[in-house]
Structure 1
Amino acid sequence: MCLHAPAQHNAGAGNSITSTADTAAINKLLESAFPFREAAPDSALQMYTQALTLSRQAAYGTGISEAYLGQSRILSILNKYEASIAAAHSALLYGRDDKKWREREVNIYHAMAQSFYYLGKYDSCAWYRYKALNIVESTPNISLQLQMRAYGSILQFWMNAHEDIQNDRFIQQLMQHINTIEQKALVAKDSVMLVSVYFQKEAYYENIQKRDSSRYYCRRVVELGKRVKVTPSYIVASLLNMSISYLQENNPRAALPIIEQAVKEMPEPNKASNRYFVFSRFALGEVWYQLKDYDQAIRILEPALKMADEIHMFAYSDYAHKILAKTFDAAHKTDKAALHWRLYSDIRDSLNKDKKMELVYNVEMRYRIADKERELAQKELWIARNESRLKAQRYLIGGILSGTLLIILLSLLLYRNNKHKQKLQAEKIRNLHQELQISSLQAMIAGEEKERSRIARELHDGLGGTLAAIRTRLSYVFRKLDTRGEACSDFAETLQLLEEASVELRKTAHNLMPEILLREGLAKASLLFCERVRKGHMLEINTEIWGEVRRLPKDFELTAYRIIQELIHNTLKHARATQALVQIVFHDSLLCITVEDNGTGIPGESWQQLDGMGLKTIEERVKSLNGQIDIASSPGKGTSVYIELNIITTRQNVTD
């Protein structure tokens, strides 16, 4: 467990508008407020508020944005996280014409991410950290300081979410970026940058349990930090991280003086509400627990937890509850020990690593998909260039062969004329058979959909109404019995089961004949269907809609929707996949549907040989719309289904 890096940003406001005495004074005021952020946060907040007022009077957008950002940082230090987020949002609205806007935007997103982290909203925290990283990676010549902040914040988030840090490929990539920045900082003799680098390294080595290396980098942060006078939080956090490292090795006597040194390094103003001070009390409580002075540990930990509640310090409270529970156990106070074990369990449940892993996985996939799209674009460019060269070669070969082919063609024309009438007649017969087959398929599918609609109405209006009446009557009886004190848990459970049955019945009726398809069309109905599947199963579905979305003939949309449903049901039933992609592309005359998964694939040499999995039903529906289907699959490598439907032809067939 390591403390997060303190938030920092560049001092200075920039000069995006005409230089005047007013703007120069505002810039100086903003720079003057920066050193007081931790030493005297209340005074710094007043200075930023004054700069905001002056900037508004001067219509100085950059000054307004910088002042709001400064306020956001101070409010976070004062544990006013909601207000900090609001100020950061306001900072995004001003100064966008400034040449340093992109750098300031990165700082704003990091300020928001930090406040969301301390509020326990890890999804929002991850979102804004990745927004900052995307800006850093897409902006040429951006400063090393911002690169370090972006990679460091993502590294911190991943280390809090992952178990096997040392073998995680993405974390190792982040460490490579940080090592590159370290080499550049060493060449430039940039001690401030090295403080940031070493702070990330101390956390990394602690997480992979190389504690000697972790403590080495902690000492380097303290040594360099005092020399270049970085904000006190870096030094305090590193000292506390070092003490935790000793406590992990059950060496409280080594940890105690380091905790005392960390407390001395904290600025005196608002020390009691400083989250680092509260954490130091947690660590001190563990020191006395390990020294078996349980009364002293309790005297320290109980007020510290109360203080953490007052400043809404959700993060790390589980650590204090765990130590306090172990202390009460050792002191044979089982009731209090059980209470704190329960509180520890509740907090750990809310910080469940599986949920955080799922969140990080989703964010990582968005990030890696963007990288994949860039790689594909580069490959497509390379393919286009090769095709151009091959085309030139083909022209040359074509010129040589054209004479020979002309002679052959003239010879074939005589033969073709003799066979042409026979082919035309055979083609007419074949087309007639195909039209009859398509008409039969359309009639069969129309009958199926009509029956689905009838069953859906009977389920919803008939059985659904009956269940609703039963539920209402039983609820009345339950309330009546409850007032007499005769109600029982079995009766309540029966009501709950009846409610669940009603919900499942409505879902079944909607799946049989989805109302959103009739009201909103194929695109929205497909998005909703995939979202419901994603929430109800372990399958992560990414849905993409491309082209000009528009309404199509009702029968066409219904058949296309059934095709998508059947493909997803096949994936859920047979593929054992964890990821799937559903892509719908609207062209002028074509509707293209692609469904891919990373499952086990289709067994056998050819999918046409399979009787099950609903593939024949899908093929029949595609044929009924004059479409084409192509399935690519191999065992263990997933399945890709691509379907093309001719909208113009289909519309004519439906009309006819």
Structure 2
Amino acid sequence: MQNTTDNIYILVFLAMGGTFLLVASFIFFSIRNQNRLLKQRQQFQQAQIAHQKELLKAVIESQEAERKRIGQDLHDDVGTTASGLRLLIEMFKPTGGEDKNHQDFKQSSKTIIDKIVKDVRNISHNLSPTTLRYYGLIAAVTEHCTIINQSGKLEISLTNNAERELDQLHLNTATALYRVLEELLNNTIKHSGASKANIGLVTDTQNLHITYADNGKGLPTDTETVKKGMGMQNIESRLLNINATYSLEPYSGKGFRIKIECPLN
């Protein structure tokens, strides 16, 4: 009788042990399978992000190439034609001799043509700034700020504490940062009602830090609403393409402020 009872206990113990091992094995394989699925999902998402970044890079490079082509066409064709027209007006002399009306007409025509040439040159520069390609980011930004300062639309101060590091930036990175600052300045002039803007550049061992601020009306406190705007979407796309990040300080009525962090390598 005792042996029978012992055998029953042994069988129960073995059954419980087997059940435990079965449940433990099921849990183990379920967790491993979930981890494998999670890893596959993460790899798929990373591949999607990488693909999207490649597409974004291709779109931006295509836009810059088209900007360069249009800018050169404007400068070479329209600018040259306008200059030629000015020369013809200067050389033209009526058969009856020049009178005051003719002189006034000639002077007015030359003034208008000079303005057209200047506007074409500025548009060409904005589309494809040669200063950026040949002299780097800070020279191009300085030139752009000088043009705006001279126009009287906005007073811009530029503080650069990263001269050497900026000289080493890849052209694609420099172009993206230039376009971002250009977009920020355009937004300030068109929408903020600001009279002053400040741009600061500084580096640490790994990153370039850019701070942009104006004294305008500021942004809504809802940053998600701000990010849905076309201007901020363009900025975000260009920064994403160079692995840069940004943060906003949307204090309504206290001006606008954005901080950008871009890897130097």
What range describes the TM-score normalised by the shorter chain of this pair? Answer: 0.7 to 0.9
Alpha-carbon shift at residue 425 of structure 1 (Å): 2.8
Alpha-carbon shift at residue 485 of structure 1 (Å): 3.2
Q: Whose relative contact order is higher, 1 or 2, with alpha carbons under 8 Å and at least 6 apart?
A: 2
Alpha-carbon shift at residue 513 of structure 1 (Å): 0.6
Task: Check whether the contact 1:456–1:510 (CA below 8 A) recurs between aligned residues.
Answer: yes
Task: Check whether the contact 2:158–2:198 (CA below 8 A) recurs between aligned residues.
Answer: yes
Classify 1:428/1:613 alpha carbon distance in 2 versus 1 (closer, same or farther; 3 Å): closer
**Is the aligned partner of 1:546 residue 2:161?**
yes
**Is the aligned partner of 1:642 residue 2:259?**
yes
**Is the aligned partner of 1:629 residue 2:242?**
no
Q: Deviations over 1:25-47 (max 9, x none)?
A: xxxxxxxxxxxxxxxxxxxxxxx
Match of 1:461, SS? helix
Unaligned runs of 5+ in 1: 1-413, 649-656
Q: Deviations over 1:503-529 (max 9, x none)?
A: 111111011111111111011111111
**Is the aligned partner of 1:510 residue 2:132?**
no
Match of 2:236 among 601, 607, 619: 619
Task: Check whether the contact 1:574–1:613 (CA below 8 A) recurs between aligned residues.
Answer: no
Q: Deviations over 1:360-389 (max 9, x none)?
A: xxxxxxxxxxxxxxxxxxxxxxxxxxxxxx
After TM superposition, the structure 1 = structure 2 runs for residues 149-164 of structure 1, keeping only pairs within 5 Å, are none
Task: Check whether the contact 2:220–2:226 (CA below 8 A) recurs between aligned residues.
Answer: no
Identify the range of structure 1 (560-569 vs 542-551) with the bigger mean alpha-carbon deviation: 542-551
Cα separation, 2, equivalents of 1:561 and 1:519 = 14
Alpha-carbon shift at residue 603 of structure 1 (Å): 2.9
Q: Match for 1:485: what amino acid? A: E
Match of 1:574 in 2: 191
Task: Check whether the contact 1:601–1:639 (CA below 8 A) recurs between aligned residues.
Answer: yes
Alpha-carbon shift at residue 559 of structure 1 (Å): 1.2
Task: Check whether the contact 1:539–1:577 (CA below 8 A) recurs between aligned residues.
Answer: yes
Q: Match for 2:85: what amino acid? A: I
Task: Check whether the contact 2:79–2:121 (CA below 8 A) recurs between aligned residues.
Answer: yes
**Is the aligned partner of 1:598 residue 2:215?**
yes
Alpha-carbon shift at residue 626 of structure 1 (Å): 1.4
Task: Check whether the contact 2:221–2:250 (CA below 8 A) recurs between aligned residues.
Answer: no
Q: Match for 1:447: what amino acid? A: S
Match of 2:98 in 1: 485
Task: Check whether the contact 1:601–1:633 (CA below 8 A) recurs between aligned residues.
Answer: yes
Cα separation, 2, equivalents of 1:586 and 1:483 = 69
Alpha-carbon shift at residue 608 of structure 1 (Å): 4.2
Cα separation, 1, equivalents of 2:142 and 2:257 = 19
Q: Match for 1:559: what amino acid? A: A
Alpha-carbon shift at residue 612 of structure 1 (Å): 3.3
Cα separation, 1, equivalents of 2:38 and 2:146 = 50
Match of 1:533 in 2: 148
**Is the aligned partner of 1:439 residue 2:54?**
yes
Alpha-carbon shift at residue 607 of structure 1 (Å): 4.3
Task: Check whether the contact 2:157–2:198 (CA below 8 A) recurs between aligned residues.
Answer: yes
Alpha-carbon shift at residue 568 of structure 1 (Å): 0.7
Report sequence identity in percent.
27
Alpha-carbon shift at residue 606 of structure 1 (Å): 2.2
Match of 1:520 in 2: 135
Cα separation, 1, equivalents of 2:225 and 2:242 = 19
**Is the aligned partner of 1:457 residue 2:72?**
yes
Alpha-carbon shift at residue 423 of structure 1 (Å): 4.1
**Is the aligned partner of 1:565 residue 2:178?**
no
Tell me how many residue pairs correspond in the alignment. Answer: 231
Q: Deviations over 1:168-203 (max 9, x none)?
A: xxxxxxxxxxxxxxxxxxxxxxxxxxxxxxxxxxxx
Q: Match for 1:606: what amino acid? A: T
Classify 1:608/1:585 alpha carbon distance in 2 versus 1 (closer, same or farther; 3 Å): farther
Q: Deviations over 1:231-289 (max 9, x none)?
A: xxxxxxxxxxxxxxxxxxxxxxxxxxxxxxxxxxxxxxxxxxxxxxxxxxxxxxxxxxx
Higher strand share: 2
Unaligned runs of 5+ in 2: 1-27
Cα separation, 2, equivalents of 1:535 and 1:508 = 16
Q: Deviations over 1:79-99 (max 9, x none)?
A: xxxxxxxxxxxxxxxxxxxxx
Match of 2:208, SS? strand
Match of 2:261, SS? strand
Let me know the Cα RMSD of the aligned residues. 2.2
Match of 1:26 in 2: none
Cα separation, 2, equivalents of 1:589 and 1:442 = 23
Task: Check whether the contact 1:441–1:620 (CA below 8 A) recurs between aligned residues.
Answer: yes
Match of 1:572, SS? helix
Q: Match for 2:89: what amino acid? A: L
Task: Check whether the contact 1:601–1:638 (CA below 8 A) recurs between aligned residues.
Answer: yes
Cα separation, 2, equivalents of 1:622 and 1:511 = 19
Alpha-carbon shift at residue 586 of structure 1 (Å): 3.5
Task: Check whether the contact 1:570–1:613 (CA below 8 A) recurs between aligned residues.
Answer: no
Cα separation, 2, equivalents of 1:483 and 1:544 = 60
Q: Deviations over 1:544-601 (max 9, x none)?
A: 1113332321111111111110111111111111111111223443222221111011
Classify 1:420/1:482 alpha carbon distance in 2 versus 1 (closer, same or farther; 3 Å): farther
Q: Deviations over 1:290-327 (max 9, x none)?
A: xxxxxxxxxxxxxxxxxxxxxxxxxxxxxxxxxxxxxx
Cα separation, 2, equivalents of 1:601 and 1:503 = 33
**Is the aligned partner of 1:469 residue 2:84?**
yes
Alpha-carbon shift at residue 645 of structure 1 (Å): 1.7
Classify 1:457/1:590 alpha carbon distance in 2 versus 1 (closer, same or farther; 3 Å): same
**Is the aligned partner of 1:494 residue 2:109?**
yes
Q: Match for 1:602: what amino acid? A: L
Q: Deviations over 1:123-161 (max 9, x none)?
A: xxxxxxxxxxxxxxxxxxxxxxxxxxxxxxxxxxxxxxx
Alpha-carbon shift at residue 483 of structure 1 (Å): 9.9
Cα separation, 1, equivalents of 2:246 and 2:176 = 14
Task: Check whether the contact 1:460–1:509 (CA below 8 A) recurs between aligned residues.
Answer: yes
Cα separation, 1, equivalents of 2:37 and 2:44 = 11
Cα separation, 1, equivalents of 2:131 and 2:230 = 27
